[in-house]
Amino acid sequence: MKKLVNALGIAMSIASGVVIICTFLTSYQFIYLGDMFTTYFTLQVCLGITMGLWAIKFWLEELGTKKYIYPLICLGISFSSVFFILSAVR
């Protein structure tokens, strides 16, 4: 379970990094990479999923107060991303 969550977290972190670069390149009109990157929707979805996976990872691997604080921070970021998606902030 820990290895799966860790692998998914790393994969989503890499995917989020690629999405950030593509979104900024398209937003500032350096190059056009498609309609997918003209808004921040793809970035918000990747960020929400990544932070959710990192919250699970921290919950499984950390000890002491870090086990509670780090997942709460990650879940806060994830929930705020979902809130902006539902509020149609694009």
Tens-digit pLDDT profile for residues 1-56: 889 999 999 999 999 999 999 999 998 888 888 888 888 889 999 999 999 999 99
37 within 8 A of 23, measured Cβ to Cβ? yes
Give the residue among 90, 5, 20, 4 at the shortest CA–CA distance from 55. 5
- The structural domain count of the chain equals 1
Helix (H) or strand (E) holding 46: helix 41-61
> Which pLDDT score is estimated for 70?
92
DSSP state, residue 35: G
Rounded CA-CA distance 9/23 in Å is 20
Structural domain containing residue 21: 2-86
User: Residue 27: CA atoms inside 13 Å, Cβ hemisphere, count?
Assistant: 13
CA–CA separation, 58 and 55 (whole Å): 5
pLDDT over 80 (residue 90): no
